[in-house]
Structure 1
């Protein structure tokens, strides 16, 4: 799955994120670059112990969704909307938001390294650290492509 961003290579990830132009228009969707970064912050917080995820499972096709979402080279579809955009930004600027995202990723690593656990994904059910690495990589790739940071 080398076509996806490796979120464990934080130096490369940070450089990619810093390539975002705060004024960039998305190739699809309605988010601004800062809204996208703040969205990623929230999503990582659901996996690092800051926010508590929910799952209404088990669902009969959860295993299939997990298999297709995690264990294939399938990319996330464009224009998928799973939540509304917040009305206001949380951070004063894009750079501050990017730095917060990097901190949340460090917390994610510590959360899993201290507790051998699985954390709920709303569509896939419980995921372990390695599965979250894959999923976050796909998610980050999706949004970096959205703003033309990567092809």
Structure 2
């Protein structure tokens, strides 16, 4: 039997997140060029795409063990990054980049964009009919499918706004 979350997300937010990731993101991604500059932050267009790919692909690893309750810090970040309807703040300090931006993992942005869109398709396949399946996020702790969906929605919206794609 699957554990049910104690917090809920409004159905309209789930519907909007899914529509955005399946419709808006592919259309907006097609407009991104390697020379597109961000309105804020240090990432290049390809860094941003590869960063989102890593977030999506890591979220497709469903845990086989019971969810672990979030720490107070993780709970605070979940409330801000998932449960709050407010957009993510600009210039968030991501500890993953404290030593600088990583090397590219794809030879071109074209290949990176294709992998990102494929990872989103995989995400929806993995979670089809599994609303209470869990994955682990290093900053937010264990997230069920709907929390992960809303996180990706807000994360993509943040970065696609950063690069003027939406």
* More helix as a share of residues: 2
- State yes or no: 1:37 paired with 2:49: yes
Give the match for residue 6 of structure 1: 17
- Any unmatched runs of 5+ in structure 1? 51-55
Tell me what 2:158 maps to: 142
**Residue 18 (str. 1) matches residue 23 (str. 2):** no
Aligned residues between the structures: 142
CA contact (8 A) 2:74 2:140 kept: yes
TM-score between both structures, scaled by the size of structure 1: 0.81
Matches within 5 A, 1:47-126: 47-49=59-61, 58-82=70-94, 83-84=96-97, 85-86=101-102, 88-113=103-128, 117-126=133-142
Q: Indicate if the aligned counterparts of 1:18 and 1:95 stay in contact, CA closer than 8 A.
A: no
Q: Deviations over 1:93-121 (max 9, x none)?
A: 21211110111112212222376521122
Question: Tell me, what secondary structure is at the counterpart of 1:100?
Answer: helix
What RMSD, in angstroms, separates the aligned Cα atoms of the two structures? 2.5
1:133 is aligned, of 149, 157, 165, to 149
